[in-house]
Amino acid sequence: MSGLIPQDEAVRQRVRTELGTSFVISAGAGTGKTTLLIDRIVAIVLTGHLKLEQIAAVTFTENAATTLKLRLRDALERARAEADDPSVVARASEGLASIERAQVSTIHALCTAILQERPIEAGVTPGFRVADEALSDFIFEEAWEEWLQDRLTGYDDLLEAVILSRIPLEKISPIGDPMTLRKLARRLVAQRDLMPHIATAGIDPKPVRDWFATKIARAYELIQEKPEADTLVAAVRSLHAEIAKTKGLDDPDLIVAHRSLRLRKGLGNKRMWKADEAFDECRALTLEIAERGAAWEKEKNASFYSGLVLALQGVQSIYERRKNEAGVLDYVDLLVKAAEALRGNASLRSYFRRKFRAIIVDEYQDTDPLQVEIIEMLAGLSGG
């Protein structure tokens, strides 16, 4: 096999030799992309184009980063052993001398390096630790407990409404955390780089109740002197009684009252009414009321949900404070804060551009928009 030359060898050779040109390499699994990346790094170092510590190589996993570093070491050792040119030997030796400091890492570790090198400018705690998932879960748990305890030891209308609506606050079971308030809080913290999609306007129950009252009053007029046994008549009577009860009730009770109506299609028997137009109008009214009721319930739920989301931002604030106190950043912080620092500070950007003169990204297809932005800012493709 060693005698075979790949069909795309010419392209591979360009990657190894055109060291001033940027490349996007796309090929199938097992075709030697990573090997090519190593070849390129080695070529950059051995030709004196750049020093090893001026290259940032980004991989997708920690294991891949370590493997890449070990393979890079092997390649440099091989080059040192085989080269005749003393300058190449010297450059290989220099590369090997700085191999421990080479920035071959995941994107998160690259962001860690950026933030730890310039924490003052990035506004993070110098010497911060990176919280792995277990630690960030632990800090979240503390934040959640603090937030919850604060509310549970006093008065909180929203939380009381949650409890009385039988939404579970928290329930940790061996198989995980089912849909609870705690889980919602955890999700909001984990996705805090995204804007929550919530209703922003409040809702006023009064016009809705008035609308219901008007429609039901009309339906009630239509059923006068109609047979009691008819299901449509019974439903409208029930509606009439229920809407009377909602006077003075607050929002959740209105919903409860509405739910109890159980309006459905196909109510009533036209033949029993002996008045086609009245029947049609009455049935249409009940359906309209049912639809409006369902929409109102959705609005109410959305409003309740947005209230919850806003309240749960308190958990996030505590989470941030606790991380600060502990001097840790979680994985989301690493990306968000590194991007913020590079975006907002021209001299920082230029410092790292000077420091990392070449950037090599393995598995580029797996990067997300924020990671791409960071890489582009480092590469000078995006000004921040």
Residues near another protein, by CB under 8 A: 62-63, 66-67, 69-70, 73-74, 77-78, 80-81, 89, 93, 96-101, 113, 116-121, 123-128, 149, 151-156, 159-160, 163-164, 324-325, 327, 345, 347-348, 351
Looking at the Cβ atoms of 130 and 255, the one nearer to another protein is 130
What six digits make up the tokens of 185?
């809080």
Among 77, 78, 56, CA closest to 65: 56
- Taking the complex as a whole, the smallest distance from the CB of residue 74 to another protein amounts, in Å, to 5
3-state SS string over 251-299? Answer: HHHHHHHHHCCCCCCCCCCHHHHCCHHHHHHHHHHHHHHHHHHHHHHHH
The DSSP 8-state label assigned to residue 176 in this structure reads B
Looking at the Cβ atoms of 128 and 279, the one nearer to another protein is 128
Residues 6+ apart with CB under 8 A from 152: 159
Looking at the Cβ atoms of 89 and 372, the one nearer to another protein is 89
Looking at the Cβ atoms of 77 and 177, the one nearer to another protein is 77
Contact 62/32 with Cβ under 8 angstroms?
no
Contact 212/289 with Cβ under 8 angstroms?
yes
- Taking the complex as a whole, the smallest distance from the CB of residue 244 to another protein amounts, in Å, to 22
How far apart, in whole angstroms, are the C-alpha atoms of residue 365 and residue 27?
11
How far apart, in whole angstroms, are the C-alpha atoms of residue 39 and residue 269?
83
- Taking the complex as a whole, the smallest distance from the CB of residue 163 to another protein amounts, in Å, to 5
How far apart, in whole angstroms, are the C-alpha atoms of residue 41 and residue 356?
13
Looking at the Cβ atoms of 83 and 332, the one nearer to another protein is 83
Round to the nearest angstrom and report the end-to-end CA distance of the chain: 48
- Taking the complex as a whole, the smallest distance from the CB of residue 328 to another protein amounts, in Å, to 10
Contact 105/280 with Cβ under 8 angstroms?
no
Looking at the Cβ atoms of 112 and 246, the one nearer to another protein is 112
What six digits make up the tokens of 12?
């591979």
- Taking the complex as a whole, the smallest distance from the CB of residue 155 to another protein amounts, in Å, to 7
- Taking the complex as a whole, the smallest distance from the CB of residue 377 to another protein amounts, in Å, to 16
Looking at the Cβ atoms of 21 and 347, the one nearer to another protein is 347
- Taking the complex as a whole, the smallest distance from the CB of residue 218 to another protein amounts, in Å, to 36
How far apart, in whole angstroms, are the C-alpha atoms of residue 339 and residue 378?
10
